[in-house]
Structure formats: C-alpha cells, structure tokens
A and B are shown apart, each in its own frame.
Chain A
Amino acid sequence: MTEGQQLALRQLRSVQAAQPGGLEILSVSEPGEGREYLHVEISLDCAGVDHRPAGIRIRGRERLLLFVPPRFPLRKPSVYTPHKRWRGTPHVQWGDYVCLYASAATEWHPADGMFGLLDRLWEWLQAAAIGQLDPDGVPLHPPVAYYTPGTPLVIPRADTPKVNDQPWLGWATAMPIRERRLDLTAWRPMRVDGSLQDTPQHAAPAILLPSRLDWEYPDRALGLILALIDRGVDWGDFWSLLEFTALERPDEPLLLVIGTAMRGLAGGEPRQHLTAWRISADATSDLWRSLGRHSQRPELLEMGEQARERVMTWAKEAPTEWCSVREARSEVTVRRDRDSPMSWFRERTVAIWGCGAIGSLVAEWVTRAGAARVILRDNAGVTPGVLVRQNYIDADLGYRKAERLAQRLKDIAPHVQVEGHYGDVLDGPLDAGPWHEHADLVIDATASVTVGTALERARIEDRTCSIASLLFGHTAEHGLAVLCPADTGGGPVDGLRAAKLECLSERGLRRFADEFWPEPPRSEIFQPEPGCSDPTFSGAATETAAVAAMLMRDIARDLQNGEREITVHVTALDGADDQGALQRRVRARPSWDIDLPQGLQLRVSERALHAMRQEVISSAQVCGADSETGGLLFGERDDAAGVLWVDEATGPPSDSEHSPQLFLCGTRGVTRTVADRRRRGRGSLELVGTWHTHPVSSARPSARDLFGMAEILEATASPLAQALLMIVGHSAGTRPSIGAYMFERAELGTDNVRISGGQRRLARSVWQPLATAKVGTRRARPSRRASRSS
C-alpha cells in the first residue's frame, strides 16, 4: 500500500470508530499482483433517507466498493456498487459505477480526503433516493451510449426541429469535416404534408423521439430498433428511411442519428439528446439491396428478399456501434464566453485589415467568439522574424499572411466563412467599395497613417459600419484603441486626434501622448531585419497579446453597450514606464460638423463652441448684447482625410474693438497664444482662422468680413494658405446659426474669389446649455472704438 492508501484506510477507520454503525468496513483488499488500487468494501447506514417514487431504492444500509488509487489523495477514489440494482439511474454508469463528481478537478479536495468523498457519497445517496440527482434548473445528465472505438466523431451544430407528440423522421446533414469527423449542420423531414422528400446530400437518417429511452441505451441493434418502435416509430417508415438513405450512399457506413427528449435543464422543456449509431457498410449495402423486394423482376425480387433476410439477421446479432457525440447545438449548450463582452462578435461579419501582431491575434479571437464571417486583408508574407509574436507557424514561412491566417481560422472553426485577401486595402475595398464590405466591424490593425486617413475620408460618405483601430507603442507595452461606432461622426483619425488632445491636456494621460505623439518625434527606428525592412515596434508575443487582448475587450464592451460616440481606450502594462499599469477610457468629446465645399468637413468641438458661447455672454454683459465680438480658431486641417477640425476658440485679443457694427480683432498677445497652442497641441492646435458674431443679422459674411479675411491671409509675414471664417449669426438670440467659410490665399487678388462655405443652425441642445454657464469676470475689456462698419 502506498502512503496515500494507508491514509485513506486510516481515515475510513476513524469514521468507523467515530460512530459505531455509521460506516462499517466489511473488507479490505490490498493492492497486489497486477492491481495497484486498494479495494475497500464499506457498508453505510442509510436509515431514514427520504424516498420518493422518482428516486432509487436505498436500503437501510448500502454496501459500496471504494477503489483507492496509489496516488490518493491527489487522485480521487472511485466508487462502485457490488450490485446492478441502480442500472439505468442517471449518474450510474456501466450499471455499477457511481458518478459522484461532475468535475473532479474542481470538486475533489485532496485535503479532505475520504471525509470529503463520504460526504459527497452521502449527499449523492440522499439525492438519488428522492430522484433529485438532477435538481430543477441544472443541466440534465445525458443518457449513456458507450462509444465504440473507430467510429467517427459527430458534432451536432444545428438545433433540432421541434418534435411534437409523434416521432420525427427525416435526415440530418452530416457534413464531413475531416477524416472520421461529421458535423450535423441541418435537418430535413422525411415527409412534408405527407409527400416523401428527396434525400439531401450527406444525409444521415434521423429519428427524434418526443419521449425518453432508458438511461443506458441498448447494446444490440434489435434492442434499439424495438425500443424505437415501442416509442411510436412506424416499422415501415423506419426501414424506408434507412433503405432510401442507403440507396444514395451505397456501400458506405450509414449514420443513424437518434434523438430522445432527455436533454436540457431539469424541470424545463426537454431538449433532444442526440446519439449517432454507425451502421456498417455491409449492412448499408444490404439495406439498399433489400429495396429489390418491391421489384416486379424476379431476379431483383429474390436479391432483395435475400438482402432483407441478411438485414434482419444483422439487426438481431449486430452490436450497436455508438459514435462519440460532442454537442455544439446552441439549444443544449452554453458558450463559455457567454458573459464576455467578446460575445458581441457572435454571428457578426468582421473585416480585419492587417494580419500582423495585432490582426493575426484579433482574427483568431473573433473567430473563436463565433463570428459568422471574417474577411482578412494583408499585403505581406510570413517571415521568420514575425514568428516571435505573430499568430503563424514555421510552415507558414514564405506564404501570404492573409491566406495562411485564413486557413488557421478555418482549422479553428470550419463553419465560419473566412476570406483571406492579399493586397493593399487602399487598392481593395478602399478603392472599389463599399469600403466596409458589408461587415459589422472593420478592424484597422495596419498601423498605417495612410489607411487611417483613407478610412476617415471614406467614412464621411458611408457610416454604416463601425471601425476599430488599434495601435501599439514602440515597445508593445502601451496600446491605444479607437472605436467609431456605426452612424456616428468621425473616423479613427478623428478619434486619435481627440485622444491625443485629451492625453496632452490631462496630466495622468501624458504618458500616452509621449508614447504615441512624442515631441520631438522618436528618432530611433527599430528595424528588425537587415536591409529595407519596415520599421516596427519591439516586443514579445506576451506583450502584444496582453495589450491587444485588453484593447479588444474594451472595444467589444463598447460595442456590446451600444456606444453611440467615438470611444478611445489606452492601456499600459506594468513596467511600460515608471507609472505602473493603467487601463483607461479617454473622453472623446463629440463635435459638431458642417459640410464645406470641396469635400471638406468642418468639425467644431463642443469645447470650441463652449468658448464662443462664453465670449458672447461675457461680451453682452460688458459691451451690450448688440456689440459684435469674436476671436481666433485653433485646430488642424487634413485635406487627405477631408476634415478641418476646430478644437479651440479664443476670445478677442485685448486690443480688439467691439461695436454693433464692427468687431475689430486685435493682435495683442496673439503670437504668444498661437505659440502656446502649437506647443500644447503638438501640431494639432494650429491657427486655422477667426470667428466673430453678427448679433442681429445672419451668418453670411459681409463685404467688411471679406476684406478682413484678405488682410489675414496677406498681411502677415508668414500668412496662412487657407483661413476659416466662422460667423455666429443672430448671436443675441437663443438659437443662432453658424456660418463657416473657407478662404484660399491663392485665390485672393484674382477674379475667382469664392465665398465657399456653409451655414448650419445650432441645435438648441448645443448652444442653450451654455447660457447657464458661469461667466468669469474679466479684468480688462476692449474699448468701444468703432471706426469701420462691418
């Protein structure tokens, strides 16, 4: 006996001694020749156990056999009955094996040893006696059909059709997936409105019962057939179903799928428990030949009757060969990721651009999460260096990433529709359109500024798809993700700008600004391979997987929550810098946009509108509501993306002049203001134009305004190439409108000066809340000095 077995015996003896009669050790058989388990026969006092008709008959004392393994208590003992009285009871297998633990890995506690085992056994006996081994609301233990080695593995995927009070006869589509592997992907009834249907391709005859079979299925074909007949299956239909199916696939083994209403949650509506019985090729051959018995031709008739006789002999003698069935039907299984945000991806179409460190991982995750269709796009091949952290294997070297990854995804989930496209997305969907290829989500993992810019532009025209963009820092220890939900404003560039400005303005997020938008720009370039390889970030599979996983989870959660605004998430691993791990959602403030000519879209941040509104109120208090006011606009123009962002607005320089007719924008301190914004914004807060009010008139520019813009564009030492003029019309009212106009320096002085722009009335929700904003006191106000009419 091992030390563990001695311990087991000591524990049992201590229970025996503790309360005479509670447990009695009847016999002990030590391990010996050819047997390494310790066998202990015990007798347990079960007096007074509550009994109900649905339960098993527990006697006043029950004898049980404990088989204690040599590595007890690290390995749990097995419990057997010396009888087969409980055969057919759930959780009793082979007629005498008592199944005590659903999951020994979590339920068996080595430290509690035999005490825990006996407690469990006692609970089991009590539950069994009242028929509550499967209490209401928990999954039913399925019946047992013992697997026959060599039979195929069967995976039911399609939910079964509803079975009423009569058996359902028809076919399951048994799709061959690979060698010895069949997936049940569809169901078709044998008859519709009484008429016999054609046998579908890859058909497996299927019988679904509205009732139960015994807990252990018959082990002989005839026993099973009689059990089916006994439960209402028509004898003639049964054979017809088998014979006609055999006719379609002569001389191949046949799979008969049998469903019984024995699955689901106890106390709930029973679902079909599926088993698959393999009928040998010989029997299949005789099955279709036996159809000859219906023939008029004597030789066929004779052949058919002989075949029928062989079938009957086979039925009497052949053992049932049960296939291993592993369930994947949604009606009887619960996905392990049910409560994960990643469940958003179930049945979705996802396009993944870039199959590198991020994309190759993300593609696998969304596939595992149950995506219905995955579109992969990448323009590179698998090189040795990327195996360090990308989701490829040595055999993929030299092949195109998109194609190899597609194969990998198909290996993971054969039923997912996967497309692997080699090529540049700029020449693909971003050129031919629709750019989103009808996906629910496009994940841009290219880390390409060009692709991001193109996406931003494409999205102005078509916002029907969500976009997620993921970035790594230079050591893969920082990550940043932007999610642009469908039907919302900006795209990933918009989100990145918003993130950048937030990171720059909030001390706690400054580390991300320094990582992703360093000033001065990072001069070291990491080029892993010699020659002209693309620079990339450094970092191992662990960092890339960790950061990508955190970002993906954030994105999935936002999608699941139905976010309607752009969201940005940043993450930093512990040790990434000197500030510890962090995972944060960064505010991406909504903007208000006006479409300008030439495909340019003006996006004015709420912050800028807020500043303008404050100035309007402040000016009204100091100079009167009818006096004009204005100031400067800061932001960024990206002609490639087709966006002009106005992120901040200032009030008038201190030497400005206000009157009902004129706002004369001063210059005092402007240089410093511009320099300050440039430093703060790291290129994203440049001077882009001016704004002023028309308190009681429209937002259209006056002749005076045009003249003023010409002065701005031409009169400075380093003039702007373009300037934006924003006019707040009817600013004295509650719902002013804003006019926005672009002026090109190149057009000034020609006859082609265009006053191109647009107007949009501000929504009350945008402007009105500001009326209650606190207006700070201003120490200096400009003098009332009006000299020129506007």
Chain B
Amino acid sequence: MPDIPERGVVFWPVGCGDSTTLIVDDEIVVQVDLHHCVEAESEEDDHAAVIDRLIEILPERDGKPYLAGFGATHLDADHIRGFKRLLDEVTIGDLWFTPRILWEQDQDELIDDAKAFVEEAERRIEKIKKNSEVDSGDRVRIIGFMDAVKDAYEDVPEESVTVPGNAFRAIDGVDLEGVFRAFVHAPFKDDGENDRNDTSFALQVTLSGEDGDLRVLLLGDLAYPTLKNIFDRSDDVNLEWDVMLAVHHCSKRAMYEKENDADVLRRDILDAFEAACATGAYVVGSATEIPSADTPGANPPHRKAAQRYEEIVDDGHFLVTEDQAPDVIAFTPGVDGARLREAASVPESSLLGAAIASARGATKPAGKRVGFGAARA
C-alpha cells in the first residue's frame, strides 16, 4: 500500500462511489464524500473500509479522531454512505455542503446517512444562529447559493459561504493561506433545483508543497452542460489540474449527450479538459472496473468515458481505484505537479495490434470439423 502522504490527496478503493481525502498536514485532513461499505470491513473484501482506514491516519483531539472538514458534493448514497458512523466516531470540525441539502431534507429517497448529514448541517446552522461565533465541530462551509433556501442560512457568517468564482483558504477556522486553496466552480445559482447530481459542488483544490503545487479537480457527479458552463466561465488558472477525479465515477455523461437515442460526443468539453491539463497529469476514476464494452442503459463507469480520458493524459495516467484495490491512489505536490505516491498503474498491453490482426483475418483452416449438406430427417 502506498504511504499516505504528509500532504496530498488520497482516493480510496470504494467501488463505484467517491471517497477523497485531502491531507493538508498532520492536523488538517478533509474528507470529500464517503462511500463506506459494510462489506468492506471484511478482510476478504479488497475495498477500503474508509472510516476505519481514515481513523488510522487522523490526528486525535480530546481523545477522539479529528477530521478538520467533511464535504458532501451531494447526497447521493455513493457519496455519503457511512456518514452516520463517521459522525459518531470522529470529530468533524467543518462541514462543507451546498444549499441544496437544506432544500431537499424532506425528500424520501435520501438514505439514512444522507439524512444524518442534513440533520447535522441543520444542527450547526441552528447553533450558528444562536451563537455568532462557533467552534470546531459546529462550523460549516456553504458552497454555492440558492434563493429558495437563502433564509435558512442567512445567519451563517459571510466568510463561511463561498459562491462559484471564489476561493476559500480556511478549514475549520484555520487560515491555510499558502498551503491550501479551494476554488469553487459549482453549483451555480440557477442549478439548485436540478437533478441532484447536477447540484454537486465542484472545486479546484490546490495543495502547495515545498516543491510545487498539486491541483486537484473535483467535479462531483456533474454532467456535460454544467461542466461546459464551468469551463466557459472560469479563468484558466482556476481550471488547471494535475489530478482530476473522473466525473461521476467515469460516466460518459460528462462528455456525451443523448440525441435521438444516440450518444453524441461533445468534443468541446474534452478539449477544455485537455487545455487545462498539466503535463504528466492524472485522471482517477473512483469506480469499479471499467467494462470491456458499454451496454445500453448501464450505470457508470463507462468504457467510452475511460477512453476519452485516456486520450487526454499520458499512457498509464488514467487510473481506476478498483484496479489498485486494496491500495489507495495517492498524490503529493511535486515539481511538475502531481507525483504519484507509488507506481500504481498496471501495465497494460495495447489492444490495437490484436484488433488489426483479428480484423484482417488469418488463413488458417478451421480448427475443428465442420459439416455441410442438406439435412434430412
């Protein structure tokens, strides 16, 4: 297993879901999304029991593991599973969420962990209402803006709300200027009532080390239109990435749209990804194994999307968490951007040569007897 870096980003092998850990230093660790599966707690399962693994690396405060921040890009199960246990076992200094979670608290389809998150968010907001100054464990970071619920968090101090086009540098009340920066790309004000995936928050997180910066693009489960919007609006410097978490567990909806039942490639978003991609950058798919071919209606990950990402980064720089399980995929800031903590890529051989040979055909005779003739009863 690669070392957990002193500063960097860790992607856990959690199947098709997101669990990303940002490590600023030995005191400041932030978890963005959580997909802790109970099955993973079994030794026979290669997936990471994230909460257990996280607790191992977290600092302690007052005898309890301390997580400086927890962010939920949105509240779909594959992003929040296990939160209830996490909240019980770990002190969470700062809670990051979008206004949308305050809006959909009544909706039934949320899993218990999501509901627990909503409750916790509301508890903190309530506490902030009562006390203008709150301590670690009660802080929030509201990402984005939503008219429909603006009253719900009107008492949250301004510095704890970050809308798209702005960056924040503090985690759990600690100013990390020069070390940490999170630029907010989404959700946009008008997307608040969209399908939940489309309301994910999207961040460019910069972790600065002695050798250089590591810029991580976390785009949640957004789909093409919002992504396009982000890349159209934001400045290049806020879009550049050394590591990008493949959108929506490597879904083709990041770059394909349905038109007359056919997937139509949106080249512009790939060109935008590529333009913002640093030399030697990586794309990480937090997903199960990429299928050899896509079947209609299948959930992510999609082969098509994986292939598009492979066209953007160097050979071996598209990684899938499942392929590395039980190891994590971790990066630290390096001179040229992302430095993979360990050679995590699995050498593959190209399929092209075999495809050409197979299509061209061979001249060998059939390997078994073949019968012909008019069949008679």
Question: Roughly how many angstroms separate A112 CA and B304 CA in the complex, as a whole number?
Answer: 29
Tell whether A18 pairs with B355 under 8 Å between CB atoms, given A60-B316, A60-B318: yes
B243 nearest CB across to chain A (Å): 15
- The answer, yes or no, to whether B315 is at the interface (CB within 8 Å) is yes
Q: Report A21-40 CB contacts with B as 1/0, cut-off 8 Å.
A: 11110110000000000000
- The answer, yes or no, to whether A58 is at the interface (CB within 8 Å) is yes
Number of B residues, CB within 8 Å of A? 30
Chain A residues near B274 (CB-CB < 8 A): 83
Say whether B355 contacts A22, CB under 8 Å: yes
Chain A residues near B316 (CB-CB < 8 A): 47-48, 60
Question: Roughly how many angstroms separate A44 CA and B308 CA in the complex, as a whole number?
Answer: 11
Question: Roughly how many angstroms separate A46 CA and B360 CA in the complex, as a whole number?
Answer: 19
- The answer, yes or no, to whether B87 is at the interface (CB within 8 Å) is no
Chain A residues near B312 (CB-CB < 8 A): 59
Interface residues of B in 304-335 (CB under 8 A from A): 304, 307-308, 310-318
A268 nearest CB across to chain B (Å): 31
- The answer, yes or no, to whether A721 is at the interface (CB within 8 Å) is no
Q: Which residue of B lies closest to A121 (CB)?
A: B352
Q: Report B248-292 CB contacts with A as 1/0, cut-off 8 Å.
A: 000000000000000001000000001000000000000000001
Say whether A48 contacts B348, CB under 8 Å: yes
- The answer, yes or no, to whether B351 is at the interface (CB within 8 Å) is yes
Tell whether A14 pairs with B359 under 8 Å between CB atoms, given A24-B307, A47-B315: yes
Question: Roughly how many angstroms separate A129 CA and B307 CA in the complex, as a whole number?
Answer: 19
Residue in B310, B347, B349, B360 whose beta carbon sits within 8 Å of that of A61 in the complex: B310
Tell whether A48 pairs with B356 under 8 Å between CB atoms, given A20-B292, A20-B293, A27-B265: no
Question: Roughly how many angstroms separate A58 CA and B360 CA in the complex, as a whole number?
Answer: 25
Q: Which residue of B lies closest to A118 (CB)?
A: B356
Chain B residues near A11 (CB-CB < 8 A): 359
- The answer, yes or no, to whether A408 is at the interface (CB within 8 Å) is no
Say whether A17 contacts B359, CB under 8 Å: yes
Tell whether A20 pairs with B303 under 8 Å between CB atoms, given A59-B312, A118-B352: yes
Q: Which residue of B lies closest to A47 (CB)?
A: B348
Tell whether A48 pairs with B349 under 8 Å between CB atoms, given A18-B358, A27-B265, A115-B360: yes
B369 nearest CB across to chain A (Å): 25
Question: Roughly how many angstroms separate A538 CA and B333 CA in the complex, as a whole number?
Answer: 89
Q: Which residue of A lies closest to B283 (CB)?
A: A60
B191 nearest CB across to chain A (Å): 29
Interface residues of A in 596-647 (CB under 8 A from B): none
Residue in B307, B350, B355 whose beta carbon sits within 8 Å of that of A49 in the complex: B350
Q: Identify which of B317, B349, B359 gathers the most chain A CB atoms within 10 Å of its CB.
A: B359
Say whether A46 contacts B350, CB under 8 Å: yes
Question: Roughly how many angstroms separate A547 CA and B106 CA in the complex, as a whole number?
Answer: 103
- The answer, yes or no, to whether A19 is at the interface (CB within 8 Å) is yes
Residue in B265, B307, B358 whose beta carbon sits within 8 Å of that of A19 in the complex: B358
Residue in A22, A27, A63 whose beta carbon sits within 8 Å of that of B350 in the complex: A22
Tell whether A45 pairs with B350 under 8 Å between CB atoms, given A59-B315, A60-B313, A60-B317: yes
- The answer, yes or no, to whether A576 is at the interface (CB within 8 Å) is no
Q: Report B206-228 CB contacts with A as 1/0, cut-off 8 Å.
A: 00000000000000000000000
Say whether A60 contacts B359, CB under 8 Å: no
Say whether B356 contacts A47, CB under 8 Å: no
Chain B residues near A314 (CB-CB < 8 A): none
Say whether B356 contacts A119, CB under 8 Å: yes
Say whether B315 contacts A21, CB under 8 Å: no
- The answer, yes or no, to whether A379 is at the interface (CB within 8 Å) is no
- The answer, yes or no, to whether B353 is at the interface (CB within 8 Å) is yes
- The answer, yes or no, to whether B298 is at the interface (CB within 8 Å) is no
Q: Report B333-377 CB contacts with A as 1/0, cut-off 8 Å.
A: 000000000000001111111111011100000000000000000
Say whether B315 contacts A60, CB under 8 Å: yes
Question: Roughly how many angstroms separate A714 CA and B303 CA in the complex, as a whole number?
Answer: 115
Question: Roughly how many angstroms separate A670 CA and B296 CA in the complex, as a whole number?
Answer: 112
- The answer, yes or no, to whether A101 is at the interface (CB within 8 Å) is no
Q: Which residue of A lies closest to B270 (CB)?
A: A63
Chain B residues near A26 (CB-CB < 8 A): 265
Say whether B359 contacts A18, CB under 8 Å: yes
A88 nearest CB across to chain B (Å): 15
A24 nearest CB across to chain B (Å): 6
Number of A residues, CB within 8 Å of B? 36
Say whether A47 contacts B307, CB under 8 Å: no
Say whether A59 contacts B314, CB under 8 Å: yes
A12 nearest CB across to chain B (Å): 9
Chain A residues near B292 (CB-CB < 8 A): 20-21
Chain A residues near B303 (CB-CB < 8 A): 20-21
Question: Roughly how many angstroms separate A12 CA and B157 CA in the complex, as a whole number?
Answer: 60
Say whether B352 contacts A22, CB under 8 Å: yes
Q: Report A42-77 CB contacts with B as 1/0, cut-off 8 Å.
A: 011111110100000111111100000000000000
B173 nearest CB across to chain A (Å): 42
Question: Roughly how many angstroms separate A47 CA and B316 CA in the complex, as a whole number?
Answer: 7
Say whether B314 contacts A21, CB under 8 Å: no
Residue in A15, A59, A60 whose beta carbon sits within 8 Å of that of B355 in the complex: A15
Say whether B352 contacts A59, CB under 8 Å: no
- The answer, yes or no, to whether A240 is at the interface (CB within 8 Å) is no
Chain A residues near B360 (CB-CB < 8 A): 112, 115
Chain B residues near A21 (CB-CB < 8 A): 292-293, 303, 307, 351
Question: Roughly how many angstroms separate A122 CA and B313 CA in the complex, as a whole number?
Answer: 18
- The answer, yes or no, to whether A6 is at the interface (CB within 8 Å) is no
Chain B residues near A46 (CB-CB < 8 A): 315, 350, 352
Say whether B349 contacts A47, CB under 8 Å: yes
Question: Roughly how many angstroms separate A344 CA and B271 CA in the complex, as a whole number?
Answer: 60
A22 nearest CB across to chain B (Å): 3
A659 nearest CB across to chain B (Å): 88
A432 nearest CB across to chain B (Å): 73
Question: Roughly how many angstroms separate A129 CA and B350 CA in the complex, as a whole number?
Answer: 14
Q: Which residue of A lies closest to B303 (CB)?
A: A21
Tell whether A61 pairs with B307 under 8 Å between CB atoms, given A22-B350, A122-B352: yes
Say whether A122 contacts B347, CB under 8 Å: no
- The answer, yes or no, to whether A16 is at the interface (CB within 8 Å) is yes
B230 nearest CB across to chain A (Å): 22
Q: Which residue of B lies closest to A44 (CB)?
A: B352
Say whether B351 contacts A45, CB under 8 Å: yes
Question: Roughly how many angstroms separate A59 CA and B317 CA in the complex, as a whole number?
Answer: 8
Question: Roughly how many angstroms separate A372 CA and B310 CA in the complex, as a whole number?
Answer: 60
Q: Identify which of B315, B318, B353 gathers the most chain A CB atoms within 10 Å of its CB.
A: B315
Say whether A43 contacts B307, CB under 8 Å: yes
Q: Identify which of A22, A60, A118, A129 gathers the most chain B CB atoms within 10 Å of its CB.
A: A60
A483 nearest CB across to chain B (Å): 53
Q: Which residue of A lies closest to B280 (CB)?
A: A57
Q: Which residue of B lies closest to A14 (CB)?
A: B359
B265 nearest CB across to chain A (Å): 6
Q: Which residue of A lies closest to B292 (CB)?
A: A20
B279 nearest CB across to chain A (Å): 8
Question: Roughly how many angstroms separate A46 CA and B355 CA in the complex, as a whole number?
Answer: 12
Say whether B355 contacts A23, CB under 8 Å: yes
Residue in B293, B353, B359 whose beta carbon sits within 8 Å of that of A122 in the complex: B353
Question: Roughly how many angstroms separate A19 CA and B356 CA in the complex, as a whole number?
Answer: 8
14 A-B residue pairs with Cβ-Cβ distance under 8 Å, sorted by A, are A17-B359, A21-B293, A21-B307, A22-B352, A22-B355, A24-B307, A43-B311, A45-B310, A48-B348, A48-B349, A57-B315, A59-B312, A60-B314, A61-B310
Taking beta carbons and an 8 Å cutoff, which residues of A are in contact with B?
11, 14-24, 26-27, 43-49, 51, 57-63, 83, 112, 115, 118-119, 122, 129
User: Ordered nearest first, which 9 A-B pairs have the shortest CB separation?
Assistant: A22-B355, A60-B310, A19-B355, A22-B351, A61-B310, A18-B358, A47-B348, A14-B359, A15-B359
* Given A21-B292, A119-B356; 14 other pairs, CB 8 A cutoff: A15-B355, A19-B358, A20-B303, A22-B353, A23-B352, A23-B356, A47-B310, A47-B315, A47-B348, A47-B349, A59-B312, A61-B308, A61-B310, A63-B311
